[in-house]
Structure 1
C-alpha cells in the first residue's frame, strides 16, 4: 500500500500559506510522516531551495517518496526525533533556516499499520514507541504498565490523557499484572473495560482512547520533545521566518499556545494566528480525523 497516497495531510494548504514560503529558502519539516506537507513545501521552494525533513521512523523515507521530493528541490531526510532537530541541522552545517513546520498528529499509517501498539482496535505488542527498532534501554508501554507504580500510572493517565477514571484504571492494571505480564493492546483494552463504568464505554470517544494517548505520550516524552524541538529550530530561524504547528488534542495545544505566548511576551515573535486555524467543513467531510486539528503560527522578529 502506498501510504503517502492513503494518508491525508491535515490543513495542507493552510500550512503552506502560513509558512510564507519563498523560492530558494531553507525549510524544515519536523514530522515527515507520509510526506504530504514535505511534498508541497518542496514544490513551492523549487530546485534552489533546501528542505530538511525529520522522522525517527526510518521506514517512512521509502525510495519512491524520497525520489519524488528530490525531483522538486534539494532534499535531506534525517532519521531523528525532531526534538534533536537543532543539533542535527548544525551537524549538517545549516546555520539558518527560513521556516519550520510540525504536525504533531499520529498519522493513520502509524495507527493502522505500524504493529507497534498505537491502536486499541488491533491486537498488537504494547510498545507504543515511534522508533521502528527500539533499543533495549528504550521505555515502552509494556515497561510502564508492568513496572511503574499505581500512583505513577494514574498520574500520567490524568496528566497526559485527561482520563477521569485514571485511578480506577491504574488500580486495575496493577491488579492484572499480579497474575501475569501485560503485553498486548487487547489485554490492556480489557483491563480498561473492566475498570470503567458501562456508560463510559458507549460514548462518542472510545473508552480506551485517553489511556492509549497518555501511555504513548509518556513513552515518547512527547511534550518535552515538542518544546525542545520548537525552541531548537527557533534559534536557527532567520528574522521574518515562521514556525507553524498543528496540534490534535488540548494538552498539546495548551503547550504550544503557552510556548508561543511566552515568546511573544519576551518580544521574540509576532503571533500570526491570534486564534488557531481549524479545518474547513469541506476538509472535515473528506477527512473526519482532522476534526480536532489546530494550527498556530509565529513569526520571528
Structure 2
C-alpha cells in the first residue's frame, strides 16, 4: 500500500506529540479555573495528528484548526469528524490568527501549537514538487489554489535574486554557481520538473559536499519552498499574533525544523520574556513587565527512540512559553 492510500492516522506521525500536549495542558486548566471553555489553535493543522490527540485527551476542549493547504484540511476534517461541534477548521495562512478568531467570535485562546515547515502530506504527494528524490512538477505551493510556483521563481527571477534566496533561505554556500547554471539552462529550455532542477544542481555542487550536507539539492529546494510560500515573512507575523491571542496562563508551543525558523521564534519569545524597562530605570512599571515566561531551556529535541519511529522528527526543535501578563483588552 502506498503512503497516499494509507489511512491518515498511518500516514502522519505527530512529532513530539505527548510533549506538546503536556506543555499545553496547564493552559487549558487555567481556562477551567476561570470558568471558561479551553480553546486551542492548531495553527498548522496538517493531517490533524496533534489535534486528534488533544481532542481525545481533553473532552471539553474546542479546537480551531488552521491550514493553507486545502487537501490537508479535507484529510484532517475526515480524521476529526467524530469531534464535530468541538472544531472549527479554517482555510487560511497562520499569520491570519486575528482575522480567523474575529470571524469565529473567539476573543482569546488558551493554547497555540505551531508545527512549522513542510508537512508529511506535502512531502508524500509526489505531484506537489516538494521532494528532490523523485521527478514531479516544480510547484512547492502549500496552497495550490494561489500564488507563484517554484517553476515561476526558477524561470523568472534574476540571477542576482536567485543567489540571494538560495544563499539566504537555503544557507547554500554554492548559491552563486547554482544560480548561474540555472540561468544558463533556462535560456535553452524553461524548467518544468524537479528532476530537471536536480540535474542542474548536481552538475555544479561538488560530490564531496554531499558527505556533510546531504543531497546536493536539499538546500536549494528549502530556499525555493520558503520563497514560494513566504514562510519566514508569515512566521514573523504569526508568532506575535499567537502571543496577542493567548489568554493569561495560556501557552504557546512551536516546533521548527531549521535554524532560520528557530531564530524567528527565539527572538519573539526572548523579547516577550524580558522587561522592557529602560536600562538603569529604578522601578519596573507594570507596562514594562515581561509578557511571557520561558518553559523550555533553549530548545528541546526528540529522543533517539522517537527519531527511530519517525525519522522526520530528527531536525525538530521545540520552544514553549506561558503568558504571564494579561492582555490589555482582557
TM-score (normalised: structure 1): 0.93
Counterparts of residues 75-154 of structure 1 (less than 5 Å) = 75-113=87-125, 115-134=127-146, 138-154=147-163
Alpha-carbon separation, structure 2, partners of 1:244 and 1:280: 18
Instruction: Output one character per residue of 1:25-75: Cα deviation in whole Å (capped at 9) or x when no partner.
Output: 0110001111110011112331x33100011112222353131343xx611
5+ long unaligned stretches in structure 2? 277-289, 325-330
Residue of 223, 227, 244 corresponding to 1:218: 227
Count of residues in Structure 1 that have an aligned counterpart in Structure 2: 295
2:165 is aligned with 1:156: yes
Q: Structure 1 pair 290/264, CA: closer, same or farther in 2 (3 Å)? A: same
Assess if the C-alpha contact under 8 Å between 2:94 and 2:238 holds in 1. Answer: yes
Residue of 239, 244, 265 corresponding to 1:256:
265
Contact 1:142 1:183 in 2 (8 A): yes
Deviations 1:88-134 (A, max 9, x none): 11111111111100000322221021512101112111111101323
Partner of 1:68: 82
User: Any residues of structure 2 matched to 1:274-285 within 5 Å, and which?
Assistant: 274-285=297-308
The Cα shift of 1:241 comes to: 0.6
Equivalent position SS for 1:161 = coil
> Quick check: 1:156–1:214 contact (8 Å CA) kept in 2?
yes
Q: Which of 17, 24, 36 is the equivalent residue of 2:49?
A: 36
C-alpha distance in 1 between matches for 2:315 and 2:211? 20
Cα drift, residue 204 of structure 1: 5.9
Corresponding residue of 1:59: 71
Alignment match, 1:11: 16
SS in 1 for 2:118: coil
The one-character-per-residue Cα deviations of 1:253-276 (angstroms, maximum 9, x if unpaired) are 111111211111241111111221
- Which of these residues, 163, 168, 191, is aligned with residue 182 of structure 1? 191
Indicate conservation of the 8 Å contact 1:86/1:229, yes or no: no
Point out the more displaced range, 199-208 or 179-188: 199-208
Kept after mapping to 1: 8 A contact 2:41/2:64: yes
Report the Cα distance in structure 2 between the residues aligned to 1:94 and 1:37, rounded to whole angstroms.
21
Equivalent of 2:206, from 160, 185, 197? 197
Give the secondary structure class of the aligned counterpart of 2:131.
coil
Deviation at 1:201, TM superposition (A): 3.9
Give the drift of 1:236: 1.7
* Contact 2:52/2:80 (<8 A) preserved: no
**TM-score (structure 2 length as normaliser):** 0.86
TM-aligned CA deviation for residue 226 of structure 1: 1.2
Per the alignment, residue 62 of structure 2 pairs with: 50
Bigger radius of gyration, 1 or 2?
A: 2
Q: Could you tell me how far 1:225 is from its partner in structure 2?
A: 1.0
Give RMSD over aligned pairs: 1.5
Unaligned 5+ runs, structure 1: none
Structure 1 contact 59–132 (Cα < 8 Å) conserved: no
Is the Cα contact below 8 Å between 1:284 and 1:291 reproduced in 2? yes
Distance 2:264 2:129 in 1: 25
